[in-house]
Amino acid sequence: MFSPATRKPYLPSRTEGNLRHQSPSTPLPSIHNRSITGTPAPWTSSRLSVLARIPTVKKAEKGGDSDQIQPVYVGEFPQNVRNAQATLLQKNLSEDTVLAGGMDKGSSTVWMICGTELFIWSYLSGSVSKQCVVLEVPSSVIGSKDLYQKLLHSHNWIVCIVRWDNASSAKSELAPEKCSSLGIILCNRITQAIAYWPDIFTKSGTDPVVSLPTQFNQNVLISDDGKASEWNPEQIHIGNDYVSEDYRFNSMIAASVHGNHHECIAIACQSIGALWLFQFTPTEIHRRRICEDISAGASTSHSQSSKGYARALIWQSKHALSEKSGGHFLLLTNREIQSWSVMLAPIIDVAKLWAREIVGNDGDLGIKKDLAGQKSIWLLDMQIDEREKELSILVATLCKDRASSSSYTQYSLLTMQYKSNQLLSSSSEHSGLNSERFLEKKAPLHIIIPKGRVEDEAFLFSMRLRVGGKPSGSAIVLSGDGTATVTHYWRGSTRLYQFDLPWDAGKVLDASIIPSAEDSEEGAWVVLTEKAGVWAVPEKAVLLGGVEPPERSLSRKGSSKEGVAEEGKRSQTFGDNIVPRRASSEAWTTRDRQRPVLTGIAQGTVLDEEAEALLGRLFHDFVLSGEVESAFEKLKIKGAFEKEGETNVFVRMSKSIVDTLAKHWTTTRGADFLSSAVVSSLLLDKHQKHQKYLQFLALSKCHGELSLKQRRSLLIIMEHGEKLSGMIQLRKLQNMLTQQRSNLVASPPSTLQPQTAGSLWYLILLVGEKARRNTVLLMDRDNAEVFYSKISDMEDLFNCLYHHLQDIIDGEQPFLVQMQQAFELSNACVTVIQTAIRFRDEHKNWYPSPEGLTPWNSHLLVRSGLWSIASFVMVLLKEAGSIDVSVKSELGSQLEGLTDVLLEAYTSSITAKIERGEEYKGLLEEYTKRRDELLGALYDFAKRVVEEKYQHDSIGPHGGFSYFVFRQLIKSRQYAKLLRLGEEFQDQLASFLKERKDLLWLHEMFLNQFSAASETLHELALFVSDGSPLISEEDFDLARAKRLTSLAERRRLLNLSKIAAVAGKDVGFEMKIGRIDADLQILRLQEEIALHLFSNAEEQEINKPLPPGELIELCLKGGRDLSLKAFEVFAWTSSSFRSSNRSLLEECWRNAADQDDWLALSQASIAEGWSDEVVLGSLRGTVLFNASDQCYGPEAEVYEGSFEEILPLQKDHVRAPSLKDANSSVEQILMQHKDFPEAGKLMLTAIMMDKEGTNALAEDAAMAS
């Protein structure tokens, strides 16, 4: 808005490396209008890293708020836009001629015209590869080749975007990239040619309907058939070579017609005061002039010319027009505001309702009395706020300085509001110029720039106004030369913040606001640049980086008065040692310039920052050294224990640990992010660091101080650990669902599961999108990435569930799909809270006294989210009807879990209110009501399940004729006939054979239930006769029993189970196959051990599978030959078995060490002078070497985990403090061996040589010698 400082030329003192870092050179030669700074053209590469484009400054050299007052990168241009820019660049066309762009707030989309192509995409998507729609602008809309350059000028285009899905929902508001239907209107201001695309997201909607004016001043209805006809631009020649400025369209607005498919209307105004109406349908466009002179009947006795008489149009409401109520729009002229109504039925009728003079001496609305010495006044643009109650008008005034007799331009904002009990949608009875007034000034004229240079009208009329961004009440002014300035009235003075980047980003084409996730809040400002993509302006950038209004021009030309008057020091809003600065393009790279800070917080902020910096250094030193010397005293001196709650220094440090956003996550997007293991890894890293932080608090005695004086702060710190644990479990749950989705791709088509796979994922995206919009610094990140990083805001998960449950679970989907989606969401909620409660129980000694404290899972947001999903589940269970009992049972179990955590949340909240002495009766009444409803629903559900089971049993296999037939066939051992009956009586036989698994798996194979058959076979193969009814005793067949219980038969059953699991491809079938392979290996080992131990052939056959512990005990008794078998058994058991039998594993290592004469080996090596090769060769024959090779070697085969997790080889590899005991590693176990003092080096070499490599050990031995 005011001129940036002149860019400095090339300085020889700069190093070439620094130049390359700040702005790499562009490989293309001879670029038209290329900036001398060497900034790379945006089309020379794909998305450049934001960090690579911002000059590097050491953290110590930047102020505490330096990051917060810089623009934030939001998104790059799509690649096809970059390609189009490169093509135009090669043609040496002027950028002003071929490049135009804008932003649409309602749909959160960006449009850009490059040459003859119109590009449209959403700027809110965190992904670089956006879905970009490319539309070809018809040549008839552009005009003839002779007028190509002038008609294609960027200022000559108007684009209106019409949303067909105006419903306010999570899918439309929080996920605009999912917008499924948009109409586009493209208008050439000069020629008045119009193209209309009914729906750019459908194949048929991408063919434009074109309307061309047949005569320039036509005032009758024109109907077009949508086909481009030959058009001679000479028909509209006025003046030298193209239409006069008086006839150009200054503004156009469009709105959809509710209930009519892809139909809309548009209103356009001309400078001469004419209004035009356009009606759009998918097949044709109608146009007519509805008013020839909007000033008819009004006084025209004003001093300035009529040029630019009709300035701007805006709709009163953002909603679609309805045939019943129509709509209203406002028209800004050069002296007044006019209100017009649009009625759609029975025919479209547009009529003026009232007009209110602005440029006048009126005591209430006139602004002349507020402007001293004015010569001319221009009303430049007008906007209405989001609540549709306040109007903001940009005003420019030409004034004369009485002292110097020089002229200057003053820029102001006029804010008007509607009087109470008055509406814009006035009926026709209020029409006319003399009706009772509706508008009043909200505040005196707000001066933006008191004295600026005198500009021509072309520059003034190029200015545009935008309102509605953060901070509340701020506005942004866009000028035609490409500057954008945010103005904000704060603490009695105007503050200005000019958007600027430290490299040539081109002009600012347009500005908008990021739609807020909360209806009651404004969004952050976002701007569209010509070359550098889309950027956002954080709220703190305006508050902290704003400057006082300079006496500068609004253009880039500089001021004629520059250097004449010095800017006075207005230090009432700054610290004593800080002087307000002027903004410039060098603001980012100037290191010695201080920025203004907020009044009244300087001293407190400095102390807090010093305490937080000290805490960070002390914690860092503790992580490296484990020392906390004098940490408590140092922190107390700095005042670290003075604040309570979220502002506490220790809480802020904890929050920074759990909310850290990894920089390299941005390389993982969309589906790749789902399967990315780095997410889980970083969550675990955060968990370990937070646990380390808790240890630091305890050892430094800070924990005790917090538990006594800042109990709320300590509770928040512990709750960060709870939320982090819950997020880790939630990530595991999402990984499982992702695996399900990937398996479904290769499985036969399903009518249910693909639709249900993403309910939790969509909730994650919604929560992440809300966080991105509320924290503009995260706008360049992916939604899921933000969700998994903002751990401390776990309550938002439940808040989003409360507000958007009906959008996540579509009521139009099949009933079973809704049940499965509800199961997924409720399972996620219960998992998170139960994990948090488990963390709380495990760390109960760390928590402060709970009196009066409310845990996070008892907050209103969490209770509301839990109740929303619980009430939805209750409705589903009530309407379940004849749905499969197993499906209903799963959902019923989730309702039990929801009931448990929800009632616990209410209990904790009520208890805390009572302890604090607050009113609790209302909450208690709510708790009682919802408790009765939940328990009643559970009782009704249990009763229905019992009734259904009773009805099923009365006619099923235990109570019907089919059961009798099945029993008779079993008694007569006619198994083939029994299974053939299963072809007709599938469900009955499946239920009957549940207690006869030796036959059940065959029936399950017939039913193509391969996964179930695999489970049955696996269970049958490992069956041990202990009274379980796998085979009924009354149907006992000795021959079959012997065959089933032999080890060979068990191996066969396991192989069949493996084949069935592969055929089923159920969720986690790879893990199932791994377990089957492990069981096969254990059975093989059992046979080998039996063969070695028992010489009698009858004793060699051990019919039943022995537990792994018994097999290992046998190996320990079997001498040298079986000592290695013990380690093999351990390798094929589960990680939980190895962990719980660690002492047995230690005994195996002691036994292995006893199998060789280490003393003799050591003496022989010394006496005979063995070389390293001979020593290593001898060690290869020892049991210790082979055991180490089997367990820790590079080719070691271990099921589920590793030996290193349970018993590391070396004591230096021990990670957990609890494992640092006498037997925490294999090395420490061997140190207890009787021969270790003399042969310890050989023993350690034997266990390490295969892991470290013989060459490395030989080198170490050589160095030692």
Q: What percent of the chain has pLDDT over 70?
A: 72
3-state secondary structure of 288: strand
pTM (predicted TM-score) = 0.63
Task: Please report how many Cα atoms fall inside a 13 Å half-sphere around the Cα of residue 726, on the Cβ side.
Answer: 29
Q: Among 139-143, 182-186, 587-591, whose mean pLDDT is lowest?
A: 587-591
Assess whether pLDDT exceeds 50 at residue 1041. no
Q: Which residue has the tokens 């058991």?
A: 1133
What is the band of 773 on the pLDDT scale with cuts at 50, 70, 90? confident
Closest CA to 1007 of 967, 1044, 1060: 1060
* Burial degree of 824 (CB within 10 A; 0-12, 13-18, 19+): buried
Which residue type does 189 have?
Answer: R
Please, what sign has the CA dihedral across residues 125, 126, 128, 129? negative
Which band of pLDDT confidence, cut at 50, 70 and 90, is reported for residue 721? very high
pLDDT for 1068 equals 76
The segment with the largest mean pLDDT, out of 155-159, 858-862, 1043-1047, 1094-1098, is 858-862
Q: How many CB atoms are closer than 10 A to CB 489?
A: 18
Question: Mean pLDDT highest for which of 76-80, 199-203, 748-752, 1145-1149?
Answer: 1145-1149
Mean pLDDT, residues 833-858 taken together: 93
Min mean pLDDT across 71-80, 514-523, 549-558, 1136-1145 is at 549-558
- pLDDT of 191 reads 84
| CB neighbour burial string for 1041-1061, b if at least 16 within 10 angstroms, e if fewer | eeebbebebbbebbebbbbbb
Q: Which segment of 53-57, 439-443, 818-822, 1058-1062 scores lowest on mean pLDDT?
A: 53-57
List of residues 6+ apart from 383 with CB closer than 8 A: 314, 391, 392, 465, 466, 467, 468, 475
What percent of the chain stands above pLDDT 90? 24
More confident residue, 743 or 487: 487
Nearest to 398 by CA among 412, 384, 385, 387: 412
Would you state the pLDDT for residue 368? 63
Q: Which two tokens stand for residue 844?
A: 């109960």
Does the pLDDT value for residue 454 go beyond 90?
A: no
pLDDT value of position 59: 38
Highest mean pLDDT among 41-50, 590-599, 813-822, 1218-1227: 813-822
* pLDDT(634) > 50: yes
Q: Average pLDDT in the 340-350 region? A: 87
Does the pLDDT of residue 618 top 90, yes or no? yes
Angle between helices 1010-1021 and 1069-1093 (to 10 degrees): 20
Averaged pLDDT score across all residues of the chain:
76
Q: Is the pLDDT of residue 1 over 60?
A: no
For residue 295, pLDDT over 80 is answered with no
User: Helix (H, G, I), strand (E, B), or coil: what is residue 166?
Assistant: coil
Residue 285 reports pLDDT greater than 90: yes
- pLDDT > 90? residue 1217: no
Give the length of the chain. 1265
User: How high is the pLDDT of residue 1206?
Assistant: 87
CA dist., res. 1018 & res. 1059, Å (int)? 11
State yes or no: pLDDT of 425 exceeds 60.
no
Predicted local confidence at residue 356, as pLDDT: 84
Question: Which one has a higher pLDDT value, 290 or 8?
Answer: 290
pLDDT higher at 776 or 760: 760
Reply yes or no on whether the pLDDT at 464 is more than 50.
yes
Tens of pLDDT, residues 509-538: 999 998 876 655 678 899 999 888 899 888
Percent of the chain that is helix, strand, coil (3-state, to 5): 45, 15, 40
Between CA 903 and CA 934 the distance in angstroms is 9
* Tokens found for residue 147: 């007028």
Residue type, 240: N
The structure tokens listed for 706 are: 């917090």
Cα dihedral angle (211, 212, 218, 224), rounded to 10 degrees?
Answer: -40
pLDDT score, position 370: 59
pLDDT, tens digit, 9 for 90 and up, residues 879-937: 877 666 777 788 888 899 999 999 999 999 999 999 999 999 999 999 999 999 999 99
| Average pLDDT score over residue span 960-985 | 81
Looking at residue 517, its pLDDT comes to 67
Q: How confident is residue 566, by pLDDT bands cut at 50, 70 and 90?
A: very low
pLDDT of residue 187: 92
Q: What gap in Å lies between CA 332 and CA 85, rounded to an integer? A: 35
pLDDT at 915: 93
Question: Which tens digits make up the pLDDT trace of 979-993?
Answer: 888 887 888 888 888
Distance from chain centroid for Cα 1017: 44
**What's the pLDDT band for 495 if we cut at 50, 70, 90?**
confident
Q: Which backbone phi and psi does 1194 adopt, to 5 degrees?
A: -65, -25
The yes-or-no verdict on residue 375 having pLDDT over 70 is: yes
Q: What is the pLDDT of residue 364?
A: 57
Please report the pLDDT score of residue 671 as a whole number.
47
What is the predicted pLDDT for the residue at 331?
92
Taking the C-alpha atoms of residue 386 and residue 105, their distance in angstroms, rounded to an integer, is: 11
Alpha helix ranges (H) inside 879-920: 885-916
pLDDT, greater one: 601 or 796: 796
pLDDT at residue 1265 above 60?
no
Q: In this structure, what are the phi and psi dihedrals at residue 143, rounded to the nearest 5 degrees?
A: 115, -170
pLDDT band at 586 (very low <50, low <70, confident <90, very high): very low
Which whole number is the average pLDDT over 289-304?
64
Alpha-carbon gap, residue 538 to 774, rounded angstroms: 10
